Amino acid sequence: MTTYETIVVRPLTANIGAEIEGLDLSKPLDNRQSEELYRAFLEHHVVFLRGQDMTPEQHMTAGRLFGEICGIPFVKSVEGYPEIVEIVKEAEERKTYNFGGNWHTDMTFLEEPAKASVLYGLEVPPAGGDTKFAATAAAYDALSPRMQEILESLTGIHTGGRSYGKSGKFAGSKTSTKSMQIDASDDADAEIEHPIVRVHPETGRKALYVNPNYTLRIKDLAEDESAAILNFLYAHMVRDEFTCRFQWTPGAVAIWDNRVTMHRAINDYDGARRVMHRVTIGGDRPVAAAASASAA
């Protein structure tokens, strides 16, 4: 673990998550502060800052510390702020599917999925509504070398169709989040290939890169073979020791690295309203472990 001089970093677990103290994201950060925040993000995969009070512009400025902002396909943005998406569940929306409620990594249905997401809690339930995060590099490290090798040779097929397609869970009258506008589209059904083990472009760590929300199957395997391996991985990746859980307070911010994490918004706050703003940072095309080994 590295040391920090301008911020206090309190890890939640050894594998994933840290609370950061000493930063006010409504003010410009100096170079050392932004370097240390970025280093904590790489080291802990998701960082949390509490008690922030940001305008949408300040939220975008904080996002740009991590790269270039991109939109979220199919999900309507905040009026006047095309780079911010509002994630809302109203108090009266009971037992419906909540946005981000299945384990996933953001936007793996794109060729160049999101690098990072900066989620800002504006209105949070008095109880419940936590977000869980899973460390996909730690999950990879815990596999046997032979299993790692087998997985490195495999390719996953991803699609946004099960969420955003014409027969996806947000389509037509099935749209559960009446507070959010989601435009279901056939475009979401495109099938995109990603390596099942990707190499982090900055840290070089290998991580599992499949998720139950957007991964459809494993390329070139029979349906039942693919399902068996994916189901094993999904159970393995969310073992307690690879996860952390963040309890939101108003003004809290979570910044996660989509290249080495999955997350899930827990839908356990019926009767309460929850409002979040998300800024998303664009990423590169995932690089396979096998490709990076032969390139090295």
Ligand X SMILES: O=C(O)CCC(=O)C(=O)O
**Which are the catalytic amino acids?**
104, 106, 263, 278
CA distance 25 to 15: 25
Residue 87 binds what, of ligand X, Fe ion, none (CB under 5 to 8 Å, by partner type)?
ligand X
What does each C-alpha distance from 254 to 7, 54, 240 come to in angstroms? Answer: 16, 13, 20
Query: Contact, 258 vs 45, CB < 8 A?
Result: no
Nearest approach, Cβ of 198 to ligand X (angstroms)?
Answer: 19
Q: Which is nearer to Fe ion, 56 or 101 (CB)?
A: 101
The dihedrals phi and psi of 117, each to the nearest 5 degrees, come to -135, 140
Query: Contact, 54 vs 80, CB < 8 A?
Result: no
Q: Is 181 left (phi over 0), alpha (psi -120 to 50) or beta?
A: beta
Binding ligand X (rule: CB under 6 A), the pick from 115, 194, 217, 278 is 278
Among the listed residues 238, 243, 237, 245, the one whose alpha carbon sits nearest the alpha carbon of residue 265? 245
Q: Which is nearer to ligand X, 87 or 138 (CB)?
A: 87
The two counts, helices (H) then strands (E), for the chain are: 7, 17
Q: Which is nearer to Fe ion, 29 or 286 (CB)?
A: 286
CA distance 43 to 49: 15
| Site for ligand X contains 40 (CB under 6 A) | no
| Site for ligand X contains 265 (CB under 6 A) | yes
Binding ligand X (rule: CB under 6 A), the pick from 252, 260, 276, 281 is 276
Residue 152 binds what, of Fe ion, ligand X, none (CB under 5 to 8 Å, by partner type)?
none
Nearest approach, Cβ of 41 to Fe ion (angstroms)?
Answer: 16
Nearest approach, Cβ of 201 to ligand X (angstroms)?
Answer: 21
Among the listed residues 273, 269, 286, the one whose alpha carbon sits nearest the alpha carbon of residue 195? 286
| Site for ligand X contains 281 (CB under 6 A) | no
Residue whose C-beta lies closest to Fe ion? 100
Nearest approach, Cβ of 117 to ligand X (angstroms)?
Answer: 5
Nearest approach, Cβ of 87 to ligand X (angstroms)?
Answer: 5
Among the listed residues 162, 183, 219, the one whose alpha carbon sits nearest the alpha carbon of residue 77? 183
Encoded one letter per residue, x for contact with ligand X by CB under 6 A and - for no contact, window 114-143 reads: ---x-x-----------x------------
Q: Is 19 helix (H, G, I), strand (E, B) or coil?
A: strand
Q: Which is nearer to ligand X, 4 or 214 (CB)?
A: 214
Contacts of residue 173, Cβ cutoff 8 Å, sequence gap at least 6: none
Residue 177 binds what, of Fe ion, ligand X, none (CB under 5 to 8 Å, by partner type)?
none
Pick the piece of the chain touching ligand X (CB under 6 A) from 33-41, 98-106, 171-179, 211-219.
Answer: 98-106
CA distance 113 to 198: 12
Nearest approach, Cβ of 75 to Fe ion (angstroms)?
Answer: 10
Query: Contact, 215 vs 108, CB < 8 A?
Result: yes
Residue whose C-beta lies closest to ligand X? 100
Binding ligand X (rule: CB under 6 A), the pick from 36, 83, 106, 152 is 106
Q: Which stretches of the chain bind ligand X, using CB under 6 A? A: 87, 99-100, 106, 117, 119, 131, 263, 265, 276, 278
